[in-house]
Structure 1
Amino acid sequence: MVIGLLHRAGVRSTHLYLASLGTIGLCLGLWIRAKTVDQTQRGNAERRALFVGLWPPTMWLIGDSLREHE
């Protein structure tokens, strides 16, 4: 259902594969930035980086589903 809606909206598997790779870069950037903030804010910044780190596999699997649908 959701995959069909994404396909009709013009989203292709390549878009989600690239988004997956982009979120890996975002996670690394946030992790590096977490090392530059002061100690009181570091835990929150690291949690943010870990949260974003959960996105790449999700986007990759949605991209796989779209590829099968295409």
Structure 2
Amino acid sequence: MIEMLHNAGIKSEYAYAGGFASIALSLGSWLISRTKKDHSKAQSDRWGIFIGHWAPTFFALGVALKLEEKE
């Protein structure tokens, strides 16, 4: 899969950027959902945690792609 992504032109920098963007999106979605009157605190926390789990995946893909680029 990593080789396929590499051959498709996806660079490790893109995956790292996706990781940082997901952290920002996680914080943003948490803050936005906290401002809505009809959402509970638990729902806001779930949104932030759900999106926050994407970051490690993007960072792991970045590392794998970086190793693929060195070959």
TM range (shorter): 0.7 to 0.9
Which residue number in structure 1 is paired with residue 13 of structure 2? 14
- Residue-by-residue CA offset, 1:1-60 (whole Å, 9 max, x unaligned): x1001001110000000111011100010111121012x423334312210000011100
* Cα distance in 1 for residues equivalent to 2:43 and 2:12: 32
Identify unmatched segments of 5+ residues in structure 2.
Answer: none
Which residue number in structure 1 is paired with residue 55 of structure 2? 56
Indicate the SS of the match to 2:29. helix
Give the fraction of aligned pairs with identical amino acids, expressed as a percent.
32
Q: Which amino acid aligns with 1:41?
A: H
Aligned pairs (5 A) from 1:1-70:
2-38=1-37, 40-42=38-40, 43-70=42-69
Q: CA deviation at 1:68?
A: 0.4
Contact preservation (8 Å) 1:30, 1:46: no
TM-score (norm 2): 0.86
